[in-house]
Amino acid sequence: MLVTGSSRGIGRAIALRLAADGWRVAVHCSNNAAAANDTVSELGGAAAGVYRANLREAGSAASLWAAALGDGPVHALVNNAGIYNPLSFLNSSDAEFESNLADTFAINWEAPLRLSRYACKVFAAAGSGRILNVASRVGFRGEAGAALYSASKGALINLTRALAVELAPAGVFVAGIAPGWVETAMVRDNMASRLPDILDTIPLRRMASPEDCAASAAFLLSDEAAYLSGVVIDINGASYFH
């Protein structure tokens, strides 16, 4: 199994949980090799290797998939890597907008799209395989200051649904999760002053943990969820329904 963005946060939690469930996990990072190696150390014998690829760059998805596949069979793909760069749609400069657009869609949309295409060709030929996409609550509901992020995650949600329909006859399972606020280092660093206001919007009165997300991911990738292809599970503490 290849889990993108698995050196930290949600991706790391997914990697560790899936390893506990018996999967061998290929760990991916973009830049933080030290964190990726820490994840590999914790995985122990369940680690299938560590792979470094900057998914902003053209051709990186192809090289990442080829490297992981070259080291052994890959039976599942988790498209977790993503970025969130807030941007004012009205007040950003053209240069800021274009830079944010290029980075957000390269990592959040084009990389998982291409990785899914490479994976489903292999999976369809084998008659089985699983793809899990990590989307976001804002892919359903939108959010001020996050137009590009919301659009990229909305596209990922609808890719999940379309591929589930198209690939079902080939034995390929496709599903997703859509977390709301998750307590990661990135959130703690950038949202500390907003935490009381954020918690006021969550009836459970806490952010999700990465392990909450990993539990849903592990369920969807298990045999028990075999009939749930196309599902995107919300993980938001009852803060949003659709």
Q: Does the residue 241 lie in any domain?
A: no
Q: Does the residue 240 lie in any domain?
A: no
Please state the rounded mean pLDDT for residues 152-157. 98
- Residue 190 binned pLDDT confidence (cut-offs 50, 70, 90): low
CB 100: neighbour CB atoms within 10 A?
Answer: 18
Q: 164 and 229 in contact (C-beta within 8 Å)?
A: yes
d(Cα 222, Cα 130) in Å, to the nearest integer? 9
Q: Does the residue 172 lie in any domain?
A: yes
Tens digits of residue pLDDT in 200-242: 999 999 999 999 999 999 999 999 999 999 999 999 999 999 9
- Residue 193 binned pLDDT confidence (cut-offs 50, 70, 90): confident
Q: What are the tokens at 42?
A: 């914790």
d(Cα 44, Cα 29) in Å, to the nearest integer? 17
Q: Which of 51, 149, 227, 240 is catalytic?
A: 149
Residue 112 has pLDDT above 80, yes or no: yes
Can you give the pLDDT at residue 171?
A: 98
Q: Which structural domain range is residue 81 located in? A: 2-235
Q: 32 and 7 in contact (C-beta within 8 Å)?
A: yes
Q: 50 and 40 in contact (C-beta within 8 Å)?
A: yes
CATH number at residue 63: 3.40.50.720
| Count of alpha carbons within 13 angstroms of residue 225, beta-carbon side | 22
Average pLDDT, the chain: 96
From residue 129, give the alpha-carbon distance in Å to each of 22, 27, 167, 172, 205: 16, 18, 10, 5, 37
Residue 131 has pLDDT above 70, yes or no: yes
Residue 189 has pLDDT above 70, yes or no: no
Q: Does the residue 18 lie in any domain?
A: yes
Tens digits of residue pLDDT in 11-40: 999 999 999 999 999 999 998 999 999 999
Residue 186 has pLDDT above 90, yes or no: no
Can you give the pLDDT at residue 187?
A: 67
Q: Does the residue 31 lie in any domain?
A: yes
Tens digits of residue pLDDT in 81-96: 999 999 999 999 999 9
Domains held by the chain: number: 1
Smallest CA-to-CA distance from 147 within 80, 203, 92, 74 is with 92
User: Is 149 designated active site?
Assistant: yes
CB 240: neighbour CB atoms within 10 A?
Answer: 15
Tell me the pTM.
0.96
Q: Does the residue 17 lie in any domain?
A: yes
Q: Does the residue 138 lie in any domain?
A: yes
Tens digits of residue pLDDT in 140-151: 998 999 999 999
Q: Does the residue 242 lie in any domain?
A: no
Residue 43 has pLDDT above 70, yes or no: yes
Cα pseudo-dihedral 15, 18, 22, 23, rounded to 10: -60
Share of the chain residues as helix, strand and coil, in percent rounded to the nearest 5:
55, 15, 30
